[in-house]
Amino acid sequence: MLITKPNYFDTFRCIAGSCPDSCCKEWDVQVDAASAACYRNLPGALGNRLREVLYDEDGETYMAITDGRCPMWRTDGLCRIQAELGESALCKTCREFPRLTHDYGDFIEYGLELSCPEAARILFASEDAHLVTEEIPGGESPEYDTEAMEVLKRTRKTVLSILSDHSRSVEEALVLALLYGYQAQAELDGGECLSFDAEAALAEARALAKPGDSEAMAEFFQSLEILTEVWRQRLASPSPAVPSEKLRILAQYMVERYWLQAVSDYDLYSRVKFMVIACLLVTYLGGDLADTAQLFSKEIENSAENVDILLDAAYSHPAFTDDKLLGLLML
């Protein structure tokens, strides 16, 4: 079975008490069934506290946030469950975060979530981030449409090479990634496998581009569920920046994370637009790119509801039409 992961994946170590944000803030942590059963049966003070803070909703169990923090969070920044029972007692969410696992049956892809500040630091500090693949024993039958996956794997390689082509500006690279995404969607829909003509694509983009609307984009994000006050304020008071070369890293991260997921619903293009919109938004909001991208990830990527709304809006919201996205990148 093949395992694919970013080359920086194994360097991640949680910085716990030194973390500037912490995954133990703001979120109600989803607790897997086995851990929830174990926690509810624990004797003593820790068990009593866990029974107070666990609640069930829509068939899932969660740990309720108290005063903006996980109730297991200690003032030294460490987790009470881990301190008293050891790391193996952590629920699946806390044990794995910020590691992402996409198990396709006969291959697995790993990644790190950008919403973790330490993962964001590692990602944006990496000079040569790329995917590495290794073979391990085991594996099951593919659980996906193999033809579609072949298209997605091939086109992902192409878009990653477009994004890492430093002979073009970062804006041009994003324009080309957007237009290539459109071509890749056509291939996924059963169309011919064509070579990508970057010069023709840029000429088409220049002809199509219309003035974009960053304010409308920010207003859209204000309409989504907002977790932190700082994000609300950033959206209300943007500080537009010049597009940074580091946007290539953000775009690459999103391509690696979402491209193959289109095998589940054959909708690649909304994910491509999601990537472009993310790059445009963090640039519009300004500030340190890694910090803004981390906050974006925490607010958007970590909310399945926000991601679903954004993927739909990528097709339907007037601020996200192709011509306006191109305009924001080119005009």
Q: Considering the complex, what minimum distance in angstroms separates the CB of residue 24 from ligand SF4? A: 6
Distance of CA 28 to the CA centre of its chain: 19
User: Under the criterion CB under 6 A, does residue 23 sit at the interface with ligand SF4?
Assistant: yes
Window contacting ligand SF4 (CB under 6 A); options: 15-23, 80-88, 101-109, 207-215 = 15-23
- Distance (Å, rounded) from C-alpha 244 to C-alpha 247? 6
- Residue of 195, 206, 314 whose CA lies nearest to 262: 314
Interface with ligand SF4 (CB under 6 A), residue from 1, 3, 8, 19? 19
Structure tokens at 166: 């430093």
Nearest to 79 by CA among 33, 64, 41, 87: 87
At residue 190, φ and ψ (nearest 5 deg) are 105, 5
Structure tokens at 124: 């944006």
The interface mask with ligand SF4, positions 256-275, x = CB under 6 A, is: --------------------
153: which 2 tokens? 């794997």
Residue 101 and residue 108 in contact, taking contact as beta carbons nearer than 8 Å: yes
Q: Rounded to 5 degrees, what are φ and ψ at 66?
A: -125, 125
Residue closer to ligand SF4, measured from CB, 97 or 284: 97
| Closest by CA position to 96, among listed 37, 3, 9 | 9
String marking each residue 174-193 x if it binds ligand SF4 according to CB under 6 A: --------------------
3-state helix, strand, coil in the chain (%, to 5): 55, 10, 35
H or E element in which residue 293 lies: helix 289-296
Nearest distance in Å: CB 7, ligand SF4: 19
Residues 114, 120: Cα–Cα separation, whole Å: 5
Asked if residue 296 binds ligand SF4 (CB under 6 A), the reply is no
Confirm or reject binding of residue 230 to ligand SF4 (CB under 6 A). Answer: no
Tokens encoding 94:
């806390």
Stretch binding ligand SF4 (CB under 6 A), from 18-26, 148-156, 243-251, 277-285: 18-26
* Residue 98 within binding range of ligand SF4, rule CB under 6 A: yes
Which of 22, 283, 292, 297 contacts ligand SF4 by CB under 6 A?
22
Q: Does 116 bind ligand SF4 (CB under 6 A)?
A: yes
Piece of the chain touching ligand SF4 by CB under 6 A; list 9-17, 59-67, 213-221, 228-236: 9-17
Indicate which single residue of 9, 29, 118, 231 sits in contact with ligand SF4 (rule: CB under 6 A). Answer: 118
Q: Does 14 bind ligand SF4 (CB under 6 A)?
A: yes
Q: Can residue 65 be called a binding residue for ligand SF4 (CB under 6 A)? A: no
Q: Note whether 16 binds ligand SF4 by CB under 6 A.
A: yes
Contacts to ligand SF4 by CB under 6 A: 14-16, 19, 21-23, 97-98, 116-118
